[in-house]
Amino acid sequence: MNIGSELMKSLEINTVFTMTIAGHKIPVTETVVISWVTMALIIIAACVAVRKLERIPHGAQAVVEGCVEFLNGFSKKQFGKYADVFGPYIGTLFLFLLVANILPVLSPAFIAGKEPPFEIKPPARDINLCAAFALITVLLMLFTGIISRGPAGWFKNLFKPVPVMLPFNLMEYIIKPLSLCLRLFGNILGGFIIMTLISLALSNVIKVAIIIPIPLSLYFDFFDGFIQALVFTFLTSLYLSEAVGIE
């Protein structure tokens, strides 16, 4: 087995199937499919957690209510009167990235040189997904900044603290989302490459291939996935709070 060719094969963004809409063929990649699976898992978990609400919460309901209370408290502190607007977005963004980043732990490994029946790849290894989230962030920064300050106030704010800062303040609408995109993409892709190389290198030794990747997977899929979701979400909330004038 050629490890280099197998690695390059794993890095490809494959098309799972093609949809035809109004005569146009639209390829649906594995990134889109895994994103759909992630959203479905979140929706199912939410429905199960709240299907039997009780006045005195316990079990899953208590955990969910605790998370919601934490999110509400964080949003009020971070966004002030805009908490009801940005809170749900921040919470959904974190949940999506968290679930999407840890899903690859369910992917079978290469064993005895044979390819696994399927492979779950983190969708954030596709720069298109990272760019889409970064684009949403910059659009929210722009429109909420204009709405909260007014067009004149938003434009005037670009000259602060001194007028010479105008080009630099404008560049922030490019630099901030670009840094968000590349940070998430680089970290998730790096972890994916490392885990793929380890899996390929140990694939011919069955016991080793099963045991050794476990602690590494706990780090790259769980811990690092959690950290990257947290960092992306926190920086997004920070940029949005600055956009609406909450320091």
pLDDT tens for each residue of 140-163: 888 888 888 888 888 888 888 888
pLDDT above 50 (res 112): no
pLDDT above 80 (res 131): yes
Q: How far apart are the first and last CA of the chain?
A: 55
Residue type for position 100: A
Cβ proximity of 183 and 176 under 8 Å: no
Instruction: Determine what percent of the chain is predicted with pLDDT higher than 90.
Output: 20
| Structural domain boundaries enclosing 236 | 3-243
Furthest CA-CA distance within the chain:
66
137: tokens are 């962030």
- Count the helices and strands in the chain (H runs, E runs): 9, 2
pLDDT above 90 (res 247): no
What pLDDT, on the 0 to 100 scale, is given for residue 12? 81
- Residue 93's Cβ-side half-sphere holds a number of Cα atoms within 13 Å equal to 24
Report the alpha-carbon distance of residue 25 to residue 207 in Å, rounded.
Answer: 44
pLDDT above 60 (res 116): no
Report the alpha-carbon distance of residue 133 to residue 39 in Å, rounded.
Answer: 15
Q: What mean pLDDT is predicted for residues 206-219?
A: 59
Which segment of 45-49, 82-86, 127-131, 182-186 scores lowest on mean pLDDT? 45-49
Report the alpha-carbon distance of residue 64 to residue 33 in Å, rounded.
Answer: 27
Highest averaged pLDDT of the listed ranges 58-72, 169-183, 217-231: 169-183
pLDDT above 60 (res 204): no
Instruction: Determine what percent of the chain is predicted with pLDDT higher than 70.
Output: 84
Cα 48-219-74 angle, rounded to 5 deg? 55
Greater model confidence, 90 or 16: 90
CB contact burial 234-246 (16+ within 10 A = b; e otherwise): ebbbebbbebbee
Q: What mean pLDDT is predicted for residues 18-24?
A: 82
What is the band of 111 on the pLDDT scale with cuts at 50, 70, 90?
A: very low
What is the band of 104 on the pLDDT scale with cuts at 50, 70, 90?
A: confident
What pLDDT, on the 0 to 100 scale, is given for residue 20? 83
Taking residue 156's Cβ as centre, other Cβ atoms within 10 Å add up to 11
> What is the number of residues in the chain?
247
Greater model confidence, 53 or 160: 160
Highest averaged pLDDT of the listed ranges 74-83, 132-141, 202-211: 132-141
Tokens 């490392």 belong to 194
Report the alpha-carbon distance of residue 126 to residue 10 in Å, rounded.
Answer: 12
What pLDDT, on the 0 to 100 scale, is given for residue 101? 87
Alpha-helix runs per DSSP H in 50-82: 60-79
pLDDT above 90 (res 11): no
CA dihedral 76, 77, 81, 84 (to 10 degrees): -30
pLDDT above 50 (res 170): yes
SS3 of residue 116 by DSSP: coil
208: tokens are 């080793």
Report the alpha-carbon distance of residue 125 to residue 191 in Å, rounded.
Answer: 9
Which segment of 42-46, 89-93, 197-201 scores lowest on mean pLDDT? 197-201
Report the alpha-carbon distance of residue 31 to residue 185 in Å, rounded.
Answer: 13
What pLDDT, on the 0 to 100 scale, is given for residue 17? 84
Cβ proximity of 9 and 74 under 8 Å: no
110: tokens are 């290469």
Q: What's the domain count of the chain? A: 1
